[in-house]
Amino acid sequence: MRLFPIIAAIAVSLLIYTFVFERERLTSLMAPPPDSDQETAQSQPEATQTEEAKVVGVVAVHSVARAIDSAVILRGQTEADRQVDVRAETSGRVISEPLRKGAFVNADQLLCRLDPATRAATLAEATARRAEAEVRIPEAAARLQEALARLTEAKVNFNAASKLSEDGFASETRVAATQAAVSAAQAAVQAAKSGLEATQTGIEAAQAAVAAAQEEIGRLEIKAPFSGLLEADTAELGSLLQPGALCSTVIQLNPVVVVGFVPETAVNRIELGVDAGAELASGDRVRGKVTFLSRAADPETRTFRVEIEVPNADFKLRDGQTAEIAIAAEGADAHLLPQSALTLNDDGLLGVRIVTENQTASFMPVTLMRDTPRGVWISGLPQKVDVIVIGQEYVIEGVAVKATYQEIGQ
């Protein structure tokens, strides 16, 4: 009888399968039904855990606004008040000793003298022609007076002949002759006037030639347009200068101008005449006043040029030095916060996220006033506010937060 062992083997296999693969189902069927109080106790911790999962932990600081001097901070450089390349206006060979660069020159001081060559003779010739033309004036005027007198005489004769002809005492031939004499006298007067005008024109042309010769001689001396320093040697002795050739470069460094470019967001905070200071890359500090603020923005950078005039009697300041400029402006209340606390909202506005009284996150736009090594000064926040400094990128408007507070500067 082999049937019983086969049935027994199948039963054992089923029991093993049930205990190994269906243990959880078997246990649940054999366990007593749970009590309703136990279900409630289990559901409450699960709900609490869900609510706690929705609260985001952040790090915030208690920030209090402080009054600061809201100076406009710019980057710029020094520039010479005036700089001119002094160039020749005529051609000639330099006959003056050169002045070396760095030398101080006064206004109208000689920089380069050119060889006059034949210019003096040209002036003498023009002067002689003017004198000759002036001598002809009395002669031309006398001819005009003589022509006018003959015209008057011819008119008298014509009038007499006309009256005698009306009474029958003069012939028509005599009247015609006197009329022809009048016409001839009028032509002579016109010729005399033309001669006088031509003589006067000759005088004016001679005078223009004299002035041109004098101007040409005046161009032989190249002088400094203003007091300043020579940035380059003057032209060397014996060198040939053509019109437009450089004699030297003169710069005026007293006063010196500190130039910066202010963004359009801060241009309305600057006024002409206000105090300003600058710290140079060398560490020197200077003070002056704003003398110019551009009305037109640079088309590429959208910034406005601002100039500060600084005294420089000892010529210690040079052209082209890098400077950090601070222009005085009206004071304001601001918060000092880490730069990392700044963020952008969905509209691209710059601001910070704060912790509200309801312990939720909220975005507030701000205005950046100044960037310092300690942090950034910003305005636009209440006098006292809790600002999120860590975790602000992980929360949005209205999200519940659990803030851990730290001291500013940690």
* Position 41 confidence tier, pLDDT thresholds 50, 70, 90: very low
Cβ neighbours of residue 302 closer than 8 Å, sequence gap 6 or more: 263, 264
* Position 244 confidence tier, pLDDT thresholds 50, 70, 90: very high
pLDDT at 407 over 90: no
Least confident span in 196-210, 288-302, 391-405: 196-210
d(CA 318, CA 253): 7
pLDDT at 139 over 80: no
pLDDT at 171 over 70: no
* Residue located via tokens 């004198």: 131
Highest mean pLDDT among 206-210, 243-247, 366-370: 243-247
Q: What is the predicted pLDDT for the residue at 47?
A: 46
Contact, 281 vs 302, CB < 8 A?
no
Q: What is the predicted pLDDT for the residue at 219?
A: 92
Q: How far is CA 156 from the centre of its chain?
A: 80
Q: What is the predicted pLDDT for the residue at 12?
A: 64
* Position 32 confidence tier, pLDDT thresholds 50, 70, 90: low
Instruction: Return the closest-CA partner of residue 371 out of 66, 65, 70.
Output: 70
Q: What is the predicted pLDDT for the residue at 100?
A: 93
Q: Return the H-helix or E-strand segment holding 40.
A: helix 36-54
d(CA 52, CA 55): 5
Pairing of strands 401-405, 56-64: parallel
* Position 224 confidence tier, pLDDT thresholds 50, 70, 90: very high
d(CA 80, CA 276): 18
Q: What is the predicted pLDDT for the residue at 221?
A: 93
* Position 310 confidence tier, pLDDT thresholds 50, 70, 90: very high
d(CA 280, CA 75): 10
Q: What percent of the chain has pLDDT over 70?
A: 84
pLDDT at 70 over 90: no
Q: What is the predicted pLDDT for the residue at 40?
A: 46
**Mean pLDDT rounded to a whole number for the chain:** 83
Q: 306 or 171: whose pLDDT is higher? A: 306
Q: What is the predicted pLDDT for the residue at 291?
A: 94
pLDDT at 108 over 50: yes
Residue 255: cis peptide before it, omega within 30 degrees of 0: yes
d(CA 64, CA 358): 19
Residue 287's region, left for phi above 0, alpha for psi from -120 to 50, else beta, is beta
**What is the fold, at CATH topology level, of the domain defined by 246-327?**
Elongation Factor Tu (Ef-tu); domain 3 (2.40.30)
Domain 119-218: top CATH class: mainly alpha
d(CA 341, CA 378): 11
Whether 246-327 and 119-218 are alike in CATH topology: the answer is: no
Least confident span in 28-37, 206-215, 232-241, 305-314: 28-37
In 3-state terms, what secondary structure has residue 165?
helix
Q: What is the mean pLDDT of residues 84-98?
A: 94
Write out pLDDT tens, residues 322-353. 999 999 877 678 899 998 899 998 888 999 99
Write out pLDDT tens, residues 384-401. 999 999 988 888 888 999
Q: What percent of the chain has pLDDT over 90?
A: 42
d(CA 299, CA 75): 19
Tokens encoding 331: 């004071």
pLDDT at 83 over 90: yes
* Residue located via tokens 């366990």: 31
Q: What is the predicted pLDDT for the residue at 33?
A: 55
Every domain of the chain and the residues it spans: 59-68+332-405, 119-218, 246-327
d(CA 101, CA 89): 22
Instruction: Return the closest-CA partner of residue 86 out of 319, 251, 318, 253.
Output: 251
Q: What is the predicted pLDDT for the residue at 19?
A: 59
Q: 200 or 356: whose pLDDT is higher? A: 356
Q: What is the predicted pLDDT for the residue at 350?
A: 92
Q: What is the predicted pLDDT for the residue at 348?
A: 87
**What is the fold, at CATH topology level, of the domain defined by 59-68+332-405?**
2.40.420
Instruction: Return the closest-CA partner of residue 286 out of 83, 81, 78, 72.
Output: 78
* Position 372 confidence tier, pLDDT thresholds 50, 70, 90: confident
